[in-house]
Amino acid sequence: MIISVIIPVYNAEKYLKRCIKSVFEAIKNIDGEILLIDNNSSDNSYELSKEIASSYNYPIRLFKCSTPGAGAVRNMGVKKASGEYLWFIDADDEVTRESASLLIAEAEKTKADLVMMGARRINANGKSDYLSAVDASTDNYRSRFVRYGAGPWQFLIRRKWWLKNDFMFKDVIIHEDMEIISSLILYTNKYASVDRPLYFYYQNEDSVLHKQKWDPHYLDIFDALEGLYERFKKADATEEFHDELEWFFIWNLLIDSAKDFAKFSEGRIGFSRSRKILKKYYPKWRKNRFLKEKPLKLRARVYLNYLKK
C-alpha cells in the first residue's frame, strides 16, 4: 500500500463530505487507504463517516479515539496505518486533485523522508494567502524549516522513518504538533518540497484554534514550546539553531498567542507566563537577528506585548 491518509474527526459534519471527496479524487488511482478517526464528536460526524465509507469504492476505515485531541488521534492513526507514506489531513480542509500524485512522485524521485507542499490558507471571511513550502534546494532550508511553524498536514511523510524515530504527537488539545514538526528536520537529510498550493487550509471560526470563547488550552503553548526546546536539546542542536528557536518563541508567544491572550480577560495570565519562559530560555531575545529584520511596526507590537500585564 502506498499511502495512508489519516483524518481526525471532531464535530466536522459540516465539512466532512467536502474533505473526503477531495481526498478521494486525489488518491482514487493510488493504492491506499483513508482512516477516519472520530474523537468524541457530539454531532453527527461518526454516523456521517459510516455513510461516507459505504458510498466510496475505496478502503475507508473507521475508528474511535476516546483520548481528547488531534495528537492522540494522529498517534492512533499511525499505529493503524499500512501505507508507505502518511498524510495527516484535517477534516475541515481540502486537497487538490493532483496533490497526492505530485507528492509521491517527488518522494520517489528524491527518496525523501519528508516532502513539504505549499498551501492556500483561507480565513472565515474568504480571504486567502499562500503558505509556501520551504525550498529544499536552498542552502538555508534547515534554518527556515525550524522557523516556519508548519502544520502536520503540509507534509507527506515516509512511515518507516516516522516509526524508526518513534515520533509521537503531544497528548494535548491545542498546539499538539508544535513539539514535533519544527524538529523533524533534525532527523533527516532526505527532505524535498513541492512549492504549489496543493492543500486548502480553512481557518473556520469554530475550529479549535479560532474559538470565540476562552479555552484554557490556549495555554498549552507553554508546554509545547518547552517540549520543542527539550527535543532540540536532546539532539544537541540548541546552539546550532539558537536564533531560529529564539525567533520561534518570540513569534508564537509575543505575536501569535498574544492575540488570544489579549482577546480574553482569562488570557491575561499568558503575558506574564510569556515573560517567564523567555527569561528562562532567551533572556536576550530583543537582539534576535530575525526580529531585527522585521518592520518597525511589528517590532513595536512585540515589545508592547512583552510588557503587557
Which residue, chain included where needed, has cell 528557536? 245
**In this predicted structure, what is the pLDDT of residue 195?**
97
Cell triple for residue 5?
491518509
C-alpha cell belonging to residue 208: 479549535
Other beta carbons within 10 Å of 121: 16
Contacts of 267 (CB under 8 A, 6+ apart): 214, 218, 260, 261
User: Which run of H or E residues covers position 63?
Assistant: strand 60-64
Integer angstrom CA distances of residue 179 from 51, 151, 176, 231? 35, 11, 7, 7
Q: Between vectors from CA 225 to CA 224 and to CA 231, what angle results, nearest 5°? A: 90
CA distance 64 to 77: 10
Contact 154, 131 (CB under 8 A): yes
DSSP annotation of 28 reads T
SS3 52: helix
User: What is the structure's pLDDT at 83?
Assistant: 98
Using the predicted structure, report yes or no on whether residue 110 has a pLDDT greater than 60. Answer: yes
- DSSP-derived secondary structure letter, 252: I
d(CA 94, CA 131): 15
3-209 architecture in CATH?
Answer: Alpha-Beta Complex (3.90)
List 29's β-bridge partners, or say none. Answer: none
Give the predicted TM-score (pTM) of the model: 0.94
pLDDT of residue 227: 94
User: Shortest CA distance to 299 belongs to which of 309, 103, 289, 191?
Assistant: 289
pLDDT in tens, 4-49: 999 999 999 999 999 999 999 999 999 999 999 999 999 999 999 9
CB 45 within 8 A of CB 13: yes
String of b and e for 3-33 (b: at least 16 CB within 10 Å)?
A: bbbbbbbbbbbebbebbbebbbbbbeeeebb
Q: How far, rounded to the nearest angstrom, does the alpha carbon of residue 133 sit from its chain's CA centroid?
A: 13
Q: In this model, does residue 210 exceed pLDDT 60?
A: no
Helices (runs of H) and strands (runs of E) counted in the chain: 13, 9
Q: Torsion angle, CA of 103/70/237/136, rounded to 10 degrees? A: 20
Domain ranges within the chain, ordered by starting residue: 3-209, 216-307
Query: Is residue 173 scored above 80 in pLDDT?
Result: no
Phi, psi of 63, rounded to the nearest 5 degrees = -140, 165
Average pLDDT, the chain: 95
d(CA 117, CA 150): 10
Question: How confident is the model at residue 68, as a pLDDT?
Answer: 92
pLDDT for residue 183: 96
